[in-house]
Structure 1
Amino acid sequence: MTTLGELARLIRSKNAGPFELTFDIMFAEEENFRRVRDSKVLTRELIAGIYRVPPDDVKFFVVPEALAFKASIPRPRFQGDLLDTDGHGGQQYAPLVDIEIP
């Protein structure tokens, strides 16, 4: 198996306002994008499971024109909360890197 991190050119997370995180998964090669898309591994339900949120709370987009996937979820703590450990949301992408793609 190959991991998403090996196929994607960029996997990142960031704030989408103080109450949401967004994840971008972008590919340089159309072949790799199609492989991930056609595997049907990367889904709203997978993101929900990884980040422990209800699937209905995940906004999930496949953007073939950009060779990209995008997902947004509610932040576990709002930005600036005393218990927020990642103010910019830039470290939340890590669990996505190791997703196995057939």
Structure 2
Amino acid sequence: MPKVSEVCRHVRSKVAGPFWVTVDLMFDGQENYDRYSGSAALNGDAIAAIYGVDATTVSLYPIPSLKVLKISYPRPVPQGSVEERDLHSGQQYAYLLDVDL
């Protein structure tokens, strides 16, 4: 089984406001996008389990023309709070790199 890091040319995460994180999976070609963007390993339940959030709060936005799957989920604590460990959410993508598709 390939991993996310093997089928995406770029994976990034970023802050999407003080209460949300967005992860962009930029697939390496149309074939990989078509084959893996709808994978069960990337559905709302799987993302919720990885990030420890409620599955009903996870949003998936497929963008076929760009070969991108955008994933948004709520931050565990508001941006800038005392418990915050990744102020800009720039490291959150790493949890997805080794996910088997």
| Shared fold per TM-score greater than 0.5 | yes
Query: 1:47 & 1:38 partners in 2: Cα distance?
Result: 12
> What root-mean-square deviation, in Å, do the aligned CA atoms of Structure 1 and Structure 2 show?
1.3
2:33 paired with 1:33: yes
TM-score (norm 2): 0.92
Greater shift after overlay, 49-58 or 34-43? 34-43
Give the percent of matched residue pairs that are identical in Structure 1 and Structure 2. 42
Query: 2:38 & 2:84 partners in 1: Cα distance?
Result: 36
**How many residues are paired up?**
101
Equivalent residues of 2:40, 2:46 under 8 A apart: no
Task: Report the CA distance between 1:38 and its aligned residue.
Answer: 5.2
TM-aligned CA distance change 1:38 to 1:91, over 3 Å: closer
Unaligned runs of 5+ in 2: none
SS across alignment from 1:100: coil
Q: Which residue of 1 aligns with 2:74?
A: 74
Post-superposition, which runs of at least 4 consecutive aligned residues in structure 1 deviate over 2 A? 37-41
Q: Which residue of 1 aligns with 2:93?
A: 93
Q: Which residue of 2 aligns with 1:9?
A: 9
Query: 2:57 & 2:77 partners in 1: Cα distance?
Result: 15
Q: Deviations over 1:58-90 (max 9, x none)?
A: 111111111011111111111110110110000
TM-score (norm 1): 0.91
Mapping for residues 46-65 of structure 1, pairs under 5 Å:
46-65=46-65
